[in-house]
Structure 1
Amino acid sequence: MAWRFALMIDPVAVEDDRTDFADTFTVIDPSAPALTVGELSTQRGDGIFESIGVVDGHPQEVQAHLERLAHSAKLCDLPTPHLEQWRQAVTDAAAACGAGEAVIKLILSRGVEHGPAPTAWVTAAEASDFAAARRDGIRVVTLDRGYAIDVPARAPWLLLGAKTLSYAVNMAAIREAKSRGADDAVFVSSDGFVLEAPTASLILRRGDTFVTPAPNGGILHGTTQLSLFDHLESRGFEVAYDTIPASDLSAVDGAWLVSSVRLAAPVVAIDANEIPMDAAFTASLNDYLLSPRD
């Protein structure tokens, strides 16, 4: 990954009514050290983030990402981000991206241990090449997430609906999937319901209806999934949220893992079950996701 840009943000109160936040940004060398050893994002993963896809310098779905950042901040008892300040930081980062696909990351942490303020920064980097995954598809395995589907409602302090920096479990799941000969994983609850992938949302096709697991089991509501549902509805398809038993996965007419940077990766196998793949239809989804979207 080639880093192209980084800036530190001096967060302001959400009530700040200025219109220009340039003096709250400090552009830094993305290859140079920038955080202190007491930073809680690195010590404990105590913070939140968003990854925004960029196509030919255009950041995609910025408002949706900013709103989800604010939602995560609320769940984690972090200061509410000033959305216009962060929007301007995204604009500065996008200007450094150039042609092709890139990714902008927004990070807000609790700051230095015992410090007075949070730490915030934005980076831009060249995106990985996902052409093969979009074209040829991926194989996934189901992995037990270790909690029942009703746990998030009973234990909100687990932060299961927030996009936090604590991604050790997610990365371990992907390593486990690869050790089993797959490319990625789909989490299922301990009582047998489909959740999401470690870094993506799951969309399933049943005839002309597209469904995704209902966001009531600690599922992160995906910005790409929401955008694709709008697109599918505009094409005359039905879309739905549902509580999906894992046993239903073998009978679907199609499946995709969707995310802001990889976009729509068709699933060609779940565990030992082959899944139908419509290459032309998938290409049309990715054509849409690669088009400018605000």
Structure 2
Amino acid sequence: MNDRILVAPGDLLGDGVFETVHLRPSGPWLLDEHLARLSRSAAILDLPAPPLPPLTDLPESGAMRIIYTRNVLDVSVGPIPAQVLRERRDGVRVLSADQGISVRRRPPWSITAAKSLSYGENFSARRWAVRQGADDLVWLSTEGYVLEAPTASVVWLTGNELCTVPPAEAGILSGITAAHLLSLAPSVGLAPVERMITLDELASADAIWLASSLRGLAEVIELDGAPRPRSPWTSRLLALLGFFAIL
């Protein structure tokens, strides 16, 4: 009989949570916030509190992924994908799509506020966008509100207000990079705001970005086929997040 590697059902079926952390010369970026979200996600899935991952001998750049299931906590490190660097530099063309979910009527078993391993739909959505000639998409609720991108938060600028979607109200994953950026907004004269927004309102914003740990900010340069002018705030906000020193 051939040797077999036994894998627990939870590992196969996405019954776990994860975090992706940007490694910098100063150490893992926003590590405490990522570990706190890992614990919140674990609680949503009725997982025990995760142990502290080993954090020795880390490189000065790259992506650290922490995966936690009912059976194991695993930490791996790899390079920043070239696509991520390209999107940060060149921006992204984005489509909107109805996710078929209401912000007012989430099922009681919903895990949308957790960063779970069940990412099949997220990547399928991005592949669909690519087949339509775009790079990414933003999900809309059945009421027409902007929610999030499959692997990023939505951030926008209107006047002097730097905004993102309120995670609790929208029932989405809380974005660590977006929250950190908004906390820094007053230092550059912008007012941080969390509010719901429709697609038409988003389209009229002065600038739109997708925010995530590795990407930092990727400016939306086209929304549903309509080109958007590049914003001078993109470079300023990337610098505010400390990305220029590590490009």
Same fold? TM cut 0.5: yes
Instruction: State the alpha-carbon separation in 1 of the partners of residues 162 and 233 from structure 2.
Output: 13
Q: TM-score, normalised by structure 1?
A: 0.77
Q: Does 2:18 match 1:49? A: yes
Instruction: State the alpha-carbon separation in 1 of the partners of residues 115 and 229 from structure 2.
Output: 31
* 2:171 counterpart (214, 218, 222): 218
- CA displacement at 1:188 relative to structure 2: 0.5
Identical counterparts, % of pairs: 33
Instruction: State the alpha-carbon separation in 2 of the partners of residues 36 and 247 from structure 1.
Output: 51
Q: Which residue of 2 aligns with 1:234?
A: 187
**Relative to structure 1, is the Cα distance of residues 41 and 276 closer, same or farther in structure 2, using a 3 angstrom cutoff?**
farther
Instruction: State the alpha-carbon separation in 2 of the partners of residues 36 and 159 from structure 1.
Output: 29
**For residue 96 of structure 1, what is the amino acid of its counterpart?**
L
Q: Which residue of 2 aligns with 1:150?
A: 104
**Relative to structure 1, is the Cα distance of residues 54 and 123 closer, same or farther in structure 2, using a 3 angstrom cutoff?**
same
SS of 2:20's partner is strand
Instruction: State the alpha-carbon separation in 2 of the partners of residues 151 and 275 from structure 1.
Output: 33
CA contact (8 A) 2:177 2:216 kept: yes
* 2:92 counterpart (138, 150, 153): 138
CA contact (8 A) 2:113 2:173 kept: yes
Q: Which residue of 1 aligns with 2:33?
A: 64
CA contact (8 A) 1:41 1:165 kept: no
**For residue 65 of structure 1, what is the amino acid of its counterpart?**
H
* 1:271 counterpart (216, 224, 228): 224
CA contact (8 A) 2:11 2:69 kept: no
CA contact (8 A) 1:41 1:109 kept: yes
* 2:202 counterpart (242, 245, 249): 249
CA contact (8 A) 2:112 2:173 kept: yes
Instruction: State the alpha-carbon separation in 1 of the partners of residues 5 and 100 from structure 2.
Output: 34
SS of 1:165's partner is coil
Find runs of 4+ consecutive structure 1 residues off by over 4 angstroms: none
Q: Which residue of 2 aligns with 1:124?
A: 77
Structure 1, unaligned runs of 5 or more: 1-34, 111-117
- CA displacement at 1:38 relative to structure 2: 2.3
Q: Which residue of 2 aligns with 1:40?
A: 9
**Which has the higher Rg, Structure 1 or Structure 2?**
1
CA contact (8 A) 1:74 1:80 kept: yes
* 2:119 counterpart (164, 167, 180): 167
Deviations 1:133-155 (A, max 9, x none): 22221100011111111133xx2
SS of 1:290's partner is coil
Instruction: State the alpha-carbon separation in 1 of the partners of residues 216 and 41 from structure 2.
Output: 22
CA contact (8 A) 1:151 1:217 kept: no
Q: Does 2:80 match 1:80? A: no
- CA displacement at 1:57 relative to structure 2: 6.0
**Relative to structure 1, is the Cα distance of residues 48 and 266 closer, same or farther in structure 2, using a 3 angstrom cutoff?**
same
Q: TM-score, normalised by structure 2?
A: 0.91
SS of 1:151's partner is coil
SS of 1:163's partner is coil
Instruction: State the alpha-carbon separation in 1 of the partners of residues 132 and 219 from structure 2.
Output: 19
**Relative to structure 1, is the Cα distance of residues 104 and 189 closer, same or farther in structure 2, using a 3 angstrom cutoff?**
same
Q: Does 2:59 match 1:97? A: yes
Instruction: State the alpha-carbon separation in 1 of the partners of residues 110 and 93 from structure 2.
Output: 29
Structure 2, unaligned runs of 5 or more: none
Alignment of 1:193-204 (within 5 A): 193-204=145-156
Deviations 1:55-100 (A, max 9, x none): 2362100110010001001110000124xx23xx1x22xx3324xx
CA contact (8 A) 1:49 1:108 kept: yes
- CA displacement at 1:41 relative to structure 2: 4.4
Instruction: State the alpha-carbon separation in 1 of the partners of residues 45 and 186 from structure 2.
Output: 33
